[in-house]
Amino acid sequence: MFKQNYFFAICFLTISQCLFAGEGMWLPIFLKSLNEKEMKSMGMKISADDIYNINKGSLKDAIVQFGGGCTSEIISNEGLLLTNHHCGFGYIQALSSVEKNYIRDGFWARNKAEEHACSGLTATLIVRIEDVTHNILEGVDLKMSELQRRNKVDENIEKLKLVLPRMADQDVMIRSFYNGNQYFAFVTETFNDIRLVGTPPESIGKFGADTDNWVWPRHTGDFSLFRIYANKANRPAAFSKDNVPYKPKHFLPISLSGIKEGDFTMVFGFPGRTTEYLIYEATRQQVEVLNPVRISLRDKTLKIMDKYMRADEKTKIQYASKYAGIANSWKKWIGENLGMRVTNGLDKKLQDDAVFQKRVEQNPKFESYRKLIPEMEFLYKRLEPFTKAREYYAETFVRNVDVYDYYQMVKSLINTYEGRGETKFNSNKEDILKNVNAYFKDFNTSIDQEIFASLLEQFIKEMNPAFVFNSLKEDLIKQKADYKAFTKALYSSSKLTNEDSLATLMAMDYSHWINAVKSDPVYQFYEDMNFYQNNDINKLCFELEEQINALRRTHMTALMEVIPEKRYYPDANSTLRVTYGKVEGFKPRDGVHYLSKTTLDGVMEKYIPGDYEFDVPKKLQTLFKNKDYGIYGDDGKMPLAFIGSNHTTGGNSGSPAIDAHGNLIGLNFDRVWEGTMSDINYDPSICRNIMVDARYILFIIDKFAGAKWLVDEMKLVYPKGKKK
């Protein structure tokens, strides 16, 4: 095992030096040895030490994981955080009401005292990164089963967490890279007192909404501002009125110089998940089997939500965040399939496998890899019907309906009682009772019921009958396959889907409570479903995926050994990464060439008065008419967004776009639709990330919102000769 890991490390440090720009999500600790030379050849003026340094303030000290799923960056010496409007949307929604509609109208604190605390929101900084592969794989050998290996790795991780040096209020997370061939430790600081400072109205922050999502040209001012608060020692602390703005080791200056085609760009953040090294068969199943299931079921869900949201303002507020979350993945999967088709992505995967297999068969030293791809293909084909069924269950009964959350609520209480006793059970139940109205604030029984019935009908018509659990079959027979009647009976007879009945339930003592819950039809439905899934679908999926994961780990090592001229960077896993490229347009199809920049002119071209997606605030119209752009305009235009060849994915939302000098020039918020397949197959011809121009952000804060005090807090870098 030591020899194998030593070989792997050497491959990583030597092969990767033969790469070209654009593709790749790089660990910042390796920039000096792997990427700095190339980055400087592309125009970067700072050093790798300026990007990542544990001995002095560096760019990494301004990069923040926002709420666990997005990125943000510190842009002032007082902990001011910049991230996307869509990243902060759930917290903005939670603070909104019909009377104070921050979604529709926006919100701008006039001073720090007016900033709103965001319950549950966290901001995490990376203190340092360490290669701990030797520690984690100590005692692991090739003779172990996957279960034995995983248990040993988990044991080593827990041991290392106990002894890895860090401060008392710091955490450590250890992540696997290259399919379990390497491990890195991330020492972190997490702040829990995060407050909303400002957000534009959705007619700016979500302009174009779902029609423009994943699309270029783009005209969305997708940003919002928050602030990190710390105790008086500048350390993480729970919310307190005594807390003060955090003083960072580094914050990003903001450049007013603008950008031009070919300029160096760097995106720094926490990309979520990619699977770049899948074999053809795995990729084919994702594109041709799983994505169509997800797309079709979410299409039904979104049409029902949209119908009600357009008809009622309260419903629009209730469902705004849910709709955006469901639509985001739905449209991404459509674009992913489109991109794979346009670039012949599946054919390329097939060719990659063929090249690997040919080299293996031609070289005796690779004999141990001869059966690797055939074995993986066999297992993936066995897995296909089960993963398809698993997706149908998840999209029909879990991801797109809220009723599942109420089942999960009572299920977690049962687990609490059984695992931690009656005292803790009563405490948790009391918390739910106190907040029953909050649970129903964004829930509409009629809408959820209509979605459930619609998805159930498609589930039954398209699912292999062998994968439908018996009690559902029996209940539908009783209802004569009337999906609406079945769903109405399920919801109307449940205590979990009504605020008053749930409050009554939560007021019961345990003996009465447990009897009421276990006889509840919604609870029974999901218990039956989970029992069937766990025993007839998930169990076999797990067994096959365990075998596949072991082969994928070997395949990753084999790729580096057999095809050493190809680029190999670790797949994204929500850890801190750097990607770099340049400002660059693209040609998505014959006869079409997209420029790399947009302006406020495009907003007015798309403007539809009173429209759900393309309305424009009156004040913004006036600023445009008067060309009142202040210091943020450029040659009579107001720059708005731009694209680049930086390799990004989910989790990079809110990441800073940084120029050659280390200044903020934009805010990453999306990818072009044709290039969303970059998660499984990056193609430099069409994969582009979309960024809000920093000048547009400042323009909205200053000229539109009148929050000049926030701009004054930032450090602006002016171009030579421009008046300050």
The DSSP-derived string for 437-506 is HHHTTT--HHHHHHHHHHHHHHHHHHS-GGGS-HHHHHHHHHTTT-HHHHHHHHHHT-SSSSHHHHHHHH
User: Is the pLDDT confidence value at 635 over 50?
Assistant: yes
Structure tokens that stand for 312 in this block: 């009622």
Q: Which residue is catalytic, options 50, 210, 222, 352? A: 222
User: Is the pLDDT confidence value at 20 over 70?
Assistant: no
The C-alpha R_g of the chain, in whole angstroms, comes to: 26
Rounded Cα distance, 242 and 605, in Å: 48
Tell me the mean pLDDT in the region 428-442.
Answer: 85
Q: Which residue is catalytic, options 653, 655, 679, 683? A: 653
pLDDT value, residue 433: 83
User: In this predicted model, which residue has the larger pLDDT, 15 or 161?
Assistant: 161
Tell me the mean pLDDT in the region 523-533.
Answer: 97
Contact 47, 36 (CB under 8 A): yes
pLDDT value, residue 13: 46
Contact 637, 628 (CB under 8 A): no
Expressed in angstroms, the distance from the first to the final Cα of the chain is 61
Structure tokens that stand for 479 in this block: 């209802």
For the full predicted model, state whether its pTM sits above 0.75.
yes
Rounded Cα distance, 80 and 656, in Å: 14
Rounded Cα distance, 545 and 303, in Å: 34
Task: Give the pairing type, strands 193-199 and 170-177.
Answer: unpaired
The model's confidence at residue 6, banded by pLDDT at 50, 70 and 90, is: very low
Structure tokens that stand for 191 in this block: 């702040």
Q: Is 653 a catalytic residue?
A: yes
Structure tokens that stand for 583 in this block: 């400002």
pLDDT value, residue 504: 93
pLDDT value, residue 723: 60
Contact 559, 277 (CB under 8 A): yes
Q: Is 219 a catalytic residue?
A: no
Q: Which residue is catalytic, options 85, 86, 219, 555? A: 86
Task: Count the neighbouring beta carbons within 10 Å of the beta carbon of residue 478.
Answer: 11
User: Is the pLDDT confidence value at 15 over 50?
Assistant: no
User: Is the pLDDT confidence value at 23 over 70?
Assistant: yes
pLDDT value, residue 14: 44
Q: Is 661 a catalytic residue?
A: no
Structure tokens that stand for 238 in this block: 């729970």
The model's confidence at residue 317, banded by pLDDT at 50, 70 and 90, is: confident
Q: Amino acid identity, residue 296?
A: S
Write phi, then psi, for 119 (nearest 5 degrees): -60, 125
The model's confidence at residue 3, banded by pLDDT at 50, 70 and 90, is: very low
Q: Amino acid identity, residue 551?
A: L
pLDDT value, residue 441: 87
Tell me the mean pLDDT in the region 362-380.
Answer: 98
Residue 577 Cα distances to 593, 608, 677, angstroms: 30, 39, 19
